[in-house]
Chains A and B, each alone.
Chain A
Amino acid sequence: MIKKERSSIDDVVIRLAGDSGDGIQLIGSEFTIATALAQNDIGTFPDFPAEIRAPAGTLAGVSGFQIHFGSHDIYTPGDYSDVLIVMNAAALKKNLSNLKKNGIIIANEDGFDAKNLRLANIADHENPLKNQSLDGYKLYIIPITKLVKEALKNSGLGTKEIDRSKNMFVLGLICWMYDRSLNSSIEELKRKFANKPEILSANLNVLQAGFNYGETAEIIEEKYTVAPAPMEAGTYRGITGNTATALGLVAASVKSKLQLFYGTYPITPASDILHELSKHKNFGVITYQAEDEIAAISSAIGASYGGLMGVTASSGPGIDLKSEALGLAIMLELPLVIINVQRAGPSTGMPTKTEQADLLLSFFGRHGEAPMPILAANSPADCFDTIYEAARIALEYMTPVYFLSDAYIANGSEPWKFPNSNNLKGFNLNIATEKDITENKFYPYLRNENLVRKWALPGTPGLENRIGGIEKEDITGNISYDPNNHEKMVHIRANKVEKIASSIPLQQLDSGPAQGKILILGWGSTYGIIKTACLELAKENIIVSHAHLKYLNPFPSNFGEILEGFETVLIPEMNMGQLSLLIKNKYLKPVVGLNKIKGLPFSTHEIVDKVKSLLSV
Chain B
Amino acid sequence: MSIQELENISSFTSKELVTDQEVRWCPGCGDYSILKQVQTVVPQLGLKRENIVFVSGIGCSSRFPYYMETYGMHSIHGRATAIASGLKIARPDLSVWVVTGDGDALSIGGNHFIHLLRRNLDLNLLLFNNQIYGLTKGQYSPTSVEGQITKSSPMGVLDHPFNPLALALGADASFVARSMDRDPKHLQTSLHRAAAFKGTSFLEIYQNCNVFNDGAFFIYSDKETKMEEAIFVEHGQALVFGENKNKGIRFANGQPEIVNLDEGKFSVDDLWIHDETDRYKASVLSRFYDDPAHAGHLPRVFGVIYAKERASYEQAVHEQLAASKTLFGDGDLDKLLRGKQAWEIK
Contacts and interface: CB of A to CB of B under 8 A. Distances in A.
Interface of A: 33, 36-37, 39, 184, 228, 231-239, 247, 250-251, 254, 259, 261, 263, 280-286, 288, 290-292, 294-295, 298-303, 305-308, 310, 324-325, 327-328, 332, 418-421, 456, 458-470, 478-479
A301 B323 CA distance: 26
Contacts of B94: 306, 458-459
A233 B346 contact: yes
Nearest to B341: A33
A302 B50 contact: no
A235 B344 CA distance: 4
Nearest to A309: B90
B204 to A, nearest CB: 21
B336 A235 contact: no
A295 B341 CA distance: 37
A24 to B, nearest CB: 20
Given A282-B330, A284-B331, A460 B50 contact: yes
Given A280-B331, A328-B75, A37 B89 contact: no
Interface in B311-346: 317, 320-321, 323-325, 327-331, 333-334, 336-339, 341-346
Contacts of B341: 33, 36-37, 184, 237-238
A328 B76 contact: yes
Given A237-B338, A461-B48, A288 B72 contact: no
B21 to A, nearest CB: 7
Grouping DSSP codes into helix (H, G, I), strand (E, B) and loop, the A interface class, with mixed when no group exceeds half, is: mixed
Contacts of B327: 282
Nearest to A424: B333
B212 interface: no
Contacts of A460: 50
B76 A286 contact: no
Given A233-B346, A284-B331, A466-B65, A261 B86 contact: yes
Contacts of B317: 286, 288
Given A231-B345, A233-B345, A280 B336 contact: yes
Contacts of B51: 458-459
A250 B75 contact: no
Contacts of A259: 90
A479 B63 CA distance: 10
A261 B76 contact: no
A280 to B, nearest CB: 6
Given A282-B328, A302-B55, A307-B90, A295 B75 contact: no
A458 B69 CA distance: 12
Q: How many of chain B's residues touch chain A, expressed as a range?
A: 35 or more
Interface string B23-58: 000000000000000000000000011111101000
Interface stretch (B77-85, B180-188, B214-222): B77-85
Contacts of A469: 74-76
16 contacts: A37-B343, A237-B341, A238-B341, A247-B336, A263-B86, A284-B331, A291-B111, A292-B112, A295-B115, A310-B90, A325-B76, A418-B337, A418-B342, A466-B21, A466-B72, A469-B76
B73 interface: yes
B225 interface: no
B93 interface: yes
Contacts of B151: none
A465 B331 CA distance: 35
B112 A295 contact: yes
3 tightest CB-CB pairs across the interface, nearest first?
Answer: A302-B86, A468-B74, A299-B86
Interface of B: 19, 21, 48-53, 55, 65-66, 68-76, 79, 82-91, 93-94, 111-112, 115, 317, 320-321, 323-325, 327-331, 333-334, 336-339, 341-346
Contacts of A250: 331, 333, 336
A281 to B, nearest CB: 4
Given A184-B341, A235-B342, A308 B90 contact: yes
Contacts of B71: 456, 458, 463-466
A458 B50 CA distance: 6
B90 A254 contact: no
Contacts of B329: 282
B320 A281 contact: yes
Nearest to B49: A464
A301 B90 CA distance: 10
Given A459-B50, A467-B73, A284 B321 contact: yes
B83 A298 contact: yes
Contacts of B70: 464
B115 A299 contact: no
Nearest to B314: A286
Nearest to B69: A464
A144 to B, nearest CB: 27
Given A234-B344, A282-B327, A288-B89, 12 more contacts: A236-B343, A247-B337, A250-B333, A280-B331, A291-B115, A299-B89, A302-B89, A324-B76, A325-B79, A418-B338, A464-B70, A468-B74
Given A237-B342, A459-B91, A462-B50, A468 B86 contact: no
Contacts of B86: 261, 263, 288, 298-303, 305-306, 310
Given A254-B333, A298-B82, A325-B79, A234 B90 contact: no
A309 to B, nearest CB: 10
Contacts of A238: 341
B92 to A, nearest CB: 10
Contacts of B19: 466
Contacts of A300: 86
Contacts of A283: 330-331, 333, 336
Given A281-B320, A328-B76, A466-B73, A295 B90 contact: no
A251 B48 CA distance: 34
A263 B48 CA distance: 29
A328 B19 CA distance: 23
Given A237-B339, A306-B87, A291 B112 contact: yes
A43 B330 CA distance: 33
A470 B91 contact: no
B39 to A, nearest CB: 14
A72 to B, nearest CB: 14
A300 B75 CA distance: 13
A292 B109 CA distance: 11
Given A284-B321, A306-B90, A328-B75, A251 B337 contact: yes
B94 to A, nearest CB: 5
B85 to A, nearest CB: 5
Given A37-B343, A234-B344, A459-B51, A299 B85 contact: yes
Contacts of B87: 302-303, 305-306, 458
Contacts of A327: 76
B343 A235 contact: yes
Contacts of B115: 290-291, 295
A261 B112 contact: no
Given A282-B327, A282-B331, A466-B65, A261 B89 contact: yes
